[in-house]
Homo-oligomer: A and B are copies of this chain.
Amino acid sequence: MDSAATDFFSSTTKLRPELEALRPQLARFVSQATAKGQKVALVTSGGTTVPLELNTVRFIDNFSTGTRGALCTEEFLRADYAVVLLHRKGSNFPFVTDLVKRLHESPYELVSQRDQSEKQPSSGLPDLQERLLAVGFTTLFEYLFLLRECCQSLASAGPGALIMLAAAVSDFYVPEKEMSAEKIQSRSLDGLTIQLRNVPKMLGALRLWAPEAFVVSFKLETNPNILLAKAAGSLQKYGVDAVCSNVLQTIRDLVIIVQRDPAISDGINISSGSLTGEETEPIEVSGVKFKPVERGSSGVDAPLVKVLVEMHDLRLQKPQQHQQQQRSLDQGSESAAPATAKRQRLMGSGEQEAH
């Protein structure tokens, strides 16, 4: 797992100069926030694209409007966090979600109403520039490089960092060196076969980039029978602190937060190993606890962030429990190498240690 992640970063060449420019900006943003005693959230948002050609005309995309990330960012700002928003360019954005919604659903009305004053006040957040740092991505490559960069910067906020992975990240991609240079031609009637590779799982690496952060991942499925098994799998394999689980069909109404249950000493058990996605009965899971969050008057995002902030605060009050959990994960991991060596390998040479 670790070597796949390392390979991914070393075999993708395009993004280095952009990252150099971003690094001091991120460092300054995080240090200003921590100096003021603010917690710092990284929210990822929107879908990543997988280009099929180097000169890209066609790409695979993941469904995500970016609305959850945008609204959760607003809530974290209201809860006095400083927020780094790693968002798909052009997807939904905090404080303009109504505008984007109108563009999608009734652009015609948007045109007719343009000469009227906008009704919604800008934010009531005069210090937005110091509190929100927006970093845009389009492709999977951009996303993963920027994610690493953001996480490594957030590491300096220690346990005061919260990472919410709400972006819809591709599971499959075409590596740079296997990509067609020009637009693929539609000759004859033979169709087209696309051979995609698995995207390396980065959740494990992320724990090394920002070891003390409170990590919240998301799981979106269309088949509710496998949702909790998939969420439990993320807790088991990557040691994330909480998984927000959604079914596509009710994504605006219900989120189930799944966490490891420390009261059950056996750990997590999932009754079925490999999942096809077409399961017709719910897959049973033990060793986890659930917290369903239902939509309130203005959606599910405000109550969701409220619960996550409570969880984060609880962890800040009880850091011992987390350290124990981390140790047991390190012991149980597939690699025999000590955690520090693994960490260095993942970050590549010449880069600053994350912690």
Nearest CB to that of A53 among chain B residues?
B222
A278 to B55, CA, bound (A): 12
Contacts of A107 in B (CB 8 A): 93, 96, 134
Question: A341 contacts the other chain (Cβ, under 8 Å)?
Answer: no
Contacts of A134 in B (CB 8 A): 107-108
A107 to B134, CA, bound (A): 9
Question: A103 contacts the other chain (Cβ, under 8 Å)?
Answer: yes
Nearest CB to that of A277 among chain B residues?
B185
CB <8 Å contact, B128 and A57: no
A222 to B52, CA, bound (A): 13
A116 to B114, CA, bound (A): 12
A47 to B110, CA, bound (A): 21
State how many angstroms separate the Cβ of A333 from the closest Cβ of chain B. 17
A297 to B129, CA, bound (A): 34
Nearest CB to that of A61 among chain B residues?
B61
Question: A316 contacts the other chain (Cβ, under 8 Å)?
Answer: no
Q: Give residues of chain A (92-147) contacting chain B, Cβ–Cβ below 8 Å.
A: 93-96, 99-100, 103-105, 107-108, 110-118, 120-123, 128-129, 132, 134
CB <8 Å contact, A220 and B63: no
A99 to B89, CA, bound (A): 14
Copies of this chain, tallied across the complex: 2
Partner pick for A223 among B52, B58, B183, CB 8 A cutoff: B183
Question: A187 contacts the other chain (Cβ, under 8 Å)?
Answer: yes
Query: Per-residue 0/1 for A185-217: is the Cβ within 8 Å of any B Cβ (1 yes, 0 no)?
Result: 111111111111110000000000000000000
Question: A270 contacts the other chain (Cβ, under 8 Å)?
Answer: no
With known contacts A118-B115, A182-B278, A184-B277, A57–B222 Cβ distance under 8 A: yes
Query: Per-residue 0/1 for A80-95: is the Cβ within 8 Å of any B Cβ (1 yes, 0 no)?
Result: 0000000001100111
Contacts of A222 in B (CB 8 A): 53, 55, 57, 182-183
Partner pick for A96 among B53, B114, B248, CB 8 A cutoff: B114
Query: Per-residue 0/1 for A306-339: is the Cβ within 8 Å of any B Cβ (1 yes, 0 no)?
Result: 0000000000000000000000000000000000
Nearest CB to that of A170 among chain B residues?
B58
Contacts of A12 in B (CB 8 A): none
A113 to B117, CA, bound (A): 11
CB <8 Å contact, B192 and A277: no
Question: A346 contacts the other chain (Cβ, under 8 Å)?
Answer: no
Contacts of A249 in B (CB 8 A): 55
Beyond contacts A61-B61, A99-B103, A118-B118: 17 other A-B pairs, Cβ-Cβ < 8 A, are A49-B61, A53-B222, A56-B63, A57-B168, A96-B114, A99-B99, A99-B110, A103-B103, A112-B128, A115-B122, A172-B186, A183-B220, A183-B221, A184-B277, A187-B274, A187-B275, A188-B274
22 residue pairs of the A-B complex, CB under 8 angstroms, read: A4-B189, A55-B222, A56-B63, A58-B62, A58-B63, A58-B170, A90-B100, A93-B110, A99-B103, A100-B103, A113-B122, A117-B118, A172-B186, A180-B277, A183-B248, A185-B275, A185-B276, A187-B274, A191-B197, A192-B196, A193-B194, A193-B195
10 tightest A-B CB contacts, nearest first: A55-B222, A171-B186, A185-B277, A93-B107, A90-B104, A115-B122, A114-B122, A194-B194, A192-B196, A191-B197
